[in-house]
Structure 1
Amino acid sequence: MRKGYIIHNQQAIYYMTFTVVGWIDVFSRLSYRDIFIESLKYCQQHKGLRLHAYVIMTNHVHVIVSVNEGCSISAFVRDCKKFTATQILKEIEENGTESRREWMLHQFKYYASRHSRNERYQLWEHDNHYIELTSPDFMQQKIDYIHQNPVKAGWVYRPEDYVYSSAANYAGIDQIIDVDCIY
């Protein structure tokens, strides 16, 4: 039986969380966060992605997304997770300065061994649950939650000061990726 959540309405706005297996702190490194941003930018340009909010934490990513008509949220999720997993794992394997390399690869290999659809390593959890955002209040609640993550983690005092979040987009200041602000 297949686990996970099936996206029935491909044209809706969804809140999603992508979690690294074992809650491994992959995104504590700048280069891995940049790979995720690169993937989002590519999906915006080539997959019809409309990114409404995001935050990259050390071991998970929250996004609020929709897609242009004729495009698929399921395709975005599949392609984004596949690309980022491939690129991040390649970077871990090839980066001679990654102090956690052996441990991380061992962990990713262990998680891969637990699922038949993995070949060598598993970076992302397979099971996903996506929440369709159906009201303005619910959207605002999720945007606020996303933007407060780095504040609650004690990394910044103000959400807009965290570089890897759309809070700066909503505040109208410098940002690293374009965001289709909902409000």
Structure 2
Amino acid sequence: MRPKIRVFKVERNSKMVLNKAYFWTSTIKDWIKLLQPESYKQLIIETLKDLVDRKLIKIYAFVIMPNHVHIVWKNIALNGKEMPAASFNKKIAHEILKDLKLNNQKMLQHFMVQEHSRSFRIWQRDALAILMDNRGKLEQKISYIHRNPLQEMWNLVAFSVDYKWSSAKFYHDGIDEFQILTHYMDLL
């Protein structure tokens, strides 16, 4: 007998608010697999760690995929005048653009845009933010995050706990290699 699968209505929120938990997805422009290098994944971890250490965010789950990032997190305080999620995207884009300009002009061309305020865009506009307003939805999204590297289109590892760039190992054996995570039960 198959286990019953619970499905939740997905409500998209265009604006995150402080002190609410969200399932958040930010995707590289045109789904280009820009985040494959270990150095870019490490940049993401370091940026998240800085925001955690400065008590601007709490992270409950994450995965860094080749062309997108999923995070269940709470933005706790503004970073200057902006939400930490915006600071995160800006910092990552700035550092990747700097690296591409120095080391990969060919790849850099994929991110050229003709917009009023910029010449390059790393992230697609409007990250997805879904409010985590109940335990079932929260657990469903964390499970989705941890299974993401196993999907047939990615096939990055055989077992979710073997994928270094996610919180799966933390929830499996309590090891937070990056020292950025808070258990989701602290939300409830």
Q: TM-score, normalised by structure 1?
A: 0.85
Find 2:38's aligned residue among 30, 39, 46.
30
**Who is 1:5 aligned against?**
14
1:94 deviation in Å?
2.1
Structure 1, unpaired ranges of 5+: 96-100
Superposition misfits of 4+ residues, deviation over 6 angstroms: none
The 3-state SS of whatever aligns with 1:127 is: coil
The DSSP-based 3-state class of the residue aligned with 2:128 is coil
Q: Deviations over 1:3-54 (max 9, x none)?
A: x8122x3211001001000111111111111111111011111252101100
Counterpart residue number, 1:91: 99
Rounded Cα–Cα distance in structure 1 between residues aligned with 2:70 and 2:138: 13
More strand by percentage: 2
How many correspondences in the alignment? 168
Q: Quote the sequence identity (%).
A: 30
**Which residue of 2 is the match for residue 149 of structure 1?**
148
Please give the secondary structure, in 2, of the residue aligned with 1:42: helix
Q: Relative to total residues, which structure has the larger helix share, 1 or 2?
A: 1
Is 1:124 the counterpart of 2:127? The answer is: no
Establish whether residue 107 from structure 1 lines up as the match of residue 110 from structure 2: yes
**2-side partners of 1:6 and 1:27: how far apart?**
25
CA shift, 1:174, in A, is: 5.5
The amino acid that maps onto 2:14 is: Y
Is the Cα–Cα contact under 8 Å of residues 49 and 178 in structure 2 kept in the other structure?
no
Q: 2:162 matched to which residue of 1? A: 161
CA contact 1:169–1:178 (8 Å) conserved in 2 = no
Structure 2, unmatched stretches of 5+, are 1-12
Residue 22 (structure 2) aligns with: 14
Which amino acid in 2 is paired with 1:23?
W
Report 1:28-67 matches (<5 A).
28-67=36-75
Comparing 43-52 with 160-169, greater Cα deviation is found at 43-52
Match of 1:181 in 2: 183
User: Does the residue aligned with 1:50 lie in a helix, a strand or coil?
Assistant: strand
TM-aligned CA deviation for residue 162 of structure 1: 0.4
Secondary structure of the equivalent of 2:24? strand
TM-superposed deviation, 1:67: 3.1
Deviation of 1:121 (Å)? 1.2
TM-score between the two structures when normalised by the length of structure 2: 0.83
